[in-house]
Amino acid sequence: MPGLPYSATNIRQSALGYRSIADMKNLIIAGYATSYFFYAATLITYLLRLRIPWRYLSIIALTVNLLVLLLISISSGHLPFFNVFECLLFVTFILGGLGCFCSQTEKHRLDVRSWVWIEILFLLTIVLFFPKEPSFYRPNQTFLWVVLFHGFRNLALATMLFSAAHFIRFRLESRRRQLRNYIFLSGRNFLLLTTVFFLCSEYSGMIWCQRGWGDFWHWSPTFFQSTLIILCLMFAFHIPGKNHRSDDIRSVIGAVTALVMLTIQVTKGLS
């Protein structure tokens, strides 16, 4: 029958397509597990102050993390910004880079860099409870303002977590006044950078809605979540006073804001 070879060819091509998708998914899962292992090894060797091993392990972890992000982008056809798995892996990569190149080793064992590795393992543990696969392709995922909206949101979360690592380190130190010039001010500067990224995300989202629906955002759960984050950020900057008590309150609000942003991101993945 003339139609039989054509049908058999289609079936064979479909089977090969499904097999390649399954192979790509297995590679992504293997890459995720490998990066988890190397980040954990980085934390252990760093706490033991094994200088050369933790540096090599951190570079390997970041490289594997980057490769997983590239696999996600290649297999899905869009940047890894959209579901919880993609988002947290991207945030992990940015946070790991900040931990490697924008912080320094201190005499205190649980310093800023240690808290960064702990935060990364916490993020990767959250990922365990979500499907480890790219989000389904949608046409608007390549639209510039959609990409900018999600990209700046993820950058804001990464810098907020890095800021929170400074604030946690600051709060756990009994002699906090001696750390103000480095730890607290660095945390405040990255909190400011978080605010810039988040406002860029909000502006991109407004243009996205204007282009897509002909109007700006109306009141909705998403708008309420954005308002809550902005209020937390503004509250952290506008605590009156320049004494140590004001710094203590600012550091607590900064750390709580990171938790709020992460909770909102994960909650969106559950909905």
Domain end, chosen from 135, 169, 204, is at 135
Paired tokens of 256:
């709580």
**Lowest mean pLDDT segment, chosen from 145-159, 172-186, 202-216, 246-260:** 172-186
Say how far apart CA 251 and CA 118 lie, in whole Å: 18
| Shared-domain flag, residues 122 and 26 | yes
Domain end, chosen from 78, 103, 135, is at 135
Residue 21 CB neighbours (<10 A) = 12
What mean pLDDT is reported for the chain?
A: 85
Residue 269 pLDDT exceeds 80: no
Task: Quote the percentage of the chain above a pLDDT of 90.
Answer: 51
Say how far apart CA 30 and CA 119 lie, in whole Å: 21
Question: Which tens digit of pLDDT belongs to each residue from 52-106?
Answer: 999 999 999 999 999 999 999 988 888 998 889 999 999 999 999 999 999 887 8
Within-domain flag for 256: yes
DSSP SS3 for 81: coil
Residue 35 near residue 73 (C-beta atoms within 8 A) = no
| Shared-domain flag, residues 150 and 257 | yes
Residue closest to 60 by CA, chosen among 80, 79, 38: 38
Residue closest to 234 by CA, chosen among 257, 203, 262, 205: 257
Residue 96 near residue 39 (C-beta atoms within 8 A) = yes
| Shared-domain flag, residues 129 and 161 | no
Question: Which tens digit of pLDDT belongs to each residue from 97-132?
Answer: 999 999 887 877 889 999 999 999 999 999 999 988
Query: Higher-confidence residue: 10 or 246?
Result: 246
Q: In which domain, by residue range, is 245 found?
A: 143-271
| Shared-domain flag, residues 159 and 262 | yes
Within-domain flag for 47: yes
| Shared-domain flag, residues 153 and 260 | yes
Place of tokens 């980040």: 39
| Shared-domain flag, residues 172 and 129 | no
| Shared-domain flag, residues 270 and 147 | yes
What band does 9 get if pLDDT is binned at 50, 70 and 90? Answer: low
Say how far apart CA 60 and CA 168 lie, in whole Å: 27
Residue 8 pLDDT exceeds 60: no
* Distant-in-sequence, close-in-space partners of 150: CB < 8 Å, separation ≥ 6: 79, 81, 82, 87, 201
Say how far apart CA 191 and CA 237 lie, in whole Å: 9
Question: Which tens digit of pLDDT belongs to each residue from 160-191?
Answer: 999 999 999 988 876 666 656 678 889 999 99
Query: Higher-confidence residue: 41 or 9?
Result: 41
List % helix, strand, coil for the chain (3-state, nearest 5).
Answer: 80, 0, 20
- Domain tally, the chain: 2
| Shared-domain flag, residues 175 and 231 | yes
| Segment 206-234 mean pLDDT | 80
Residue 126 near residue 179 (C-beta atoms within 8 A) = no
Go through 87-123 and write b for each residue having 16 or more CB atoms within 10 A of its CB, e for each that does not: bbbbbbbbbbbbbbeebeeeeeeebbbbbbbbbbeeb
Query: Higher-confidence residue: 136 or 82?
Result: 82
**Lowest mean pLDDT segment, chosen from 15-24, 47-56, 198-207, 253-262:** 15-24
| Segment 188-210 mean pLDDT | 92
pLDDT at 181: 65
pLDDT at 168: 92
The full 3-state SS of 230-263, as one line of letters, equals HHHHHHHHCCCCCCHHHHHHHHHHHHHHHHHHHH
The CATH number covering residue 106 comes to 1.20.120
Say how far apart CA 161 and CA 69 lie, in whole Å: 20
